[in-house]
Amino acid sequence: MYFENSCIFAEFPLDSSDHLRGDDQTLNKLKIEKTTKVIGYRNGEALVESENKIHFLSSCEANDTAIFLGLKEGSAYFAVELDEYFQEPNHTVFLDMRSIAKEVAMDGFSSHPSLLARGKMLIDWHSRHQFCANCGAISEIKKGGYVRHCKNCETDHFPRVDPVVIMMVIYKDKCLLGRSPQFLPGMYSALAGFMEPGETIEEACRREVYEEAGIKVGDVKYVKSQPWPFPSSLMIGVIAEALDDNINIDNDELEDAKWFDKKAIQSVLKNGGDDDFRVPEKLAIARHLLEVHMMAE
Ligand SMILES: [Zn+2]
């Protein structure tokens, strides 16, 4: 599996070619090149083939609002939103990002999920940010889709990414995991929360763990990150060292939180879980954090 060490939706496969984004003339030429590959989306879902590959549309599908994703091996890649009248070709289907991630995790989807996710996140941002946040006038797409410009007040707006810190909290040989009411029976996962303006990753981690579980955290170490296209987050995975193990749950945030010992977690990682205790699948960075720490000698 190509994502063995990195998470699903990581490892963007194209050269982003930032230098071309402001070059409308070249982008317009690329939109009609025969070698150009266009990814179609509708309502957040990407058009894929039933054999679990991206179904690339031809260059003629690229339009004024097409988003330039980058270059690879002489081909330019664009993402477009298709309208409700678009007829899916035979053997194709629109698939949401979560289903694609699940397919990848089962080795069923051979295309790059990170490519599909970036297109989805950018298209989604444009659809939700049509109007200038500064003056309310309608804004227009610029720089190959990486900027919205307001002509009325001359403001540029940039695609939004919402950082989330997700932490595996450890204390001696134990790991703190929590569950939300909507989780599957027995599912426990790493605590997580949106970062707030002006916070460092370490501060966000300490605040969230204290708010949700009443536990004070000392050292925080970055492990890895995962783009998360729901709608456009970056999951920042850390390992956090608790200073004590007295849990005090905030029931508005969590249904339960518990310390699990290393052996119980290793067993679930190796043998799978059940309705008493299970952990997230490989599509989630929480699983990677558990594997990195709990399977290490
Ligand atoms: Zn404006």
Q: What is the mean pLDDT of the chain?
A: 92
> From the CA of 34, how far away is ligand 1's center (Å)?
37
What is residue 233's predicted lDDT score, i.e. its pLDDT?
97
What is residue 3's predicted lDDT score, i.e. its pLDDT?
47
Q: Is the pLDDT of residue 4 over 60?
A: no
In the three-class reduction of DSSP (H, G, I as helix; E, B as strand; rest coil), residue 93 is classed as: strand
Structure tokens given for 37: 């590959």
Task: Flag whether 288 is in a domain.
Answer: yes
> From the CA of 134, how far away is ligand 1's center (Å)?
5
Q: How many residues does the chain have?
A: 297
Is there a single domain that holds both residue 226 and residue 265? yes
- pLDDT tens for 125-137 read 999 999 999 999 9
> From the CA of 22, how far away is ligand 1's center (Å)?
20
Domain that holds residue 251: 162-294
Is there a single domain that holds both residue 181 and residue 106? no
> From the CA of 133, how far away is ligand 1's center (Å)?
7
Task: Flag whether 209 is in a domain.
Answer: yes
What is residue 6's predicted lDDT score, i.e. its pLDDT?
79
Record the pTM. 0.92
Among the candidates 78, 113, 128, a domain finishes at: 128
What is residue 33's predicted lDDT score, i.e. its pLDDT?
93
> From the CA of 95, how far away is ligand 1's center (Å)?
35
Task: Flag whether 170 is in a domain.
Answer: yes
Is there a single domain that holds both residue 248 and residue 136? no
Task: Flag whether 275 is in a domain.
Answer: yes
> From the CA of 157, how far away is ligand 1's center (Å)?
9
Task: Flag whether 188 is in a domain.
Answer: yes
Task: Flag whether 169 is in a domain.
Answer: yes
Q: Is the pLDDT of residue 297 over 90?
A: no
* Separation CA 287–CA 297 (nearest Å): 17
What is residue 200's predicted lDDT score, i.e. its pLDDT?
98
> From the CA of 126, how far away is ligand 1's center (Å)?
15
* Separation CA 18–CA 29 (nearest Å): 16
Is there a single domain that holds both residue 50 and residue 172? no
Is there a single domain that holds both residue 153 and residue 252? no
Express as a percent the part of the chain with pLDDT over 70: 96
**Which residues, other chains included, contact 177 with Cβ-Cβ below 8 Å and sequence gap of 6+?**
188, 189, 190, 191, 257, 258, 260, 279
What is residue 1's predicted lDDT score, i.e. its pLDDT?
41
In the three-class reduction of DSSP (H, G, I as helix; E, B as strand; rest coil), residue 222 is classed as: strand
Is there a single domain that holds both residue 240 and residue 172? yes
- pLDDT tens for 219-261 read 999 999 999 999 999 999 999 999 999 999 988 889 999 999 9
> From the CA of 151, how far away is ligand 1's center (Å)?
7
> From the CA of 161, how far away is ligand 1's center (Å)?
21
Task: Flag whether 8 is in a domain.
Answer: no
Domain harbouring 274, CATH code: 3.90.79.10
Question: What is the count of structural domains for the chain?
Answer: 3
> From the CA of 140, how far away is ligand 1's center (Å)?
10
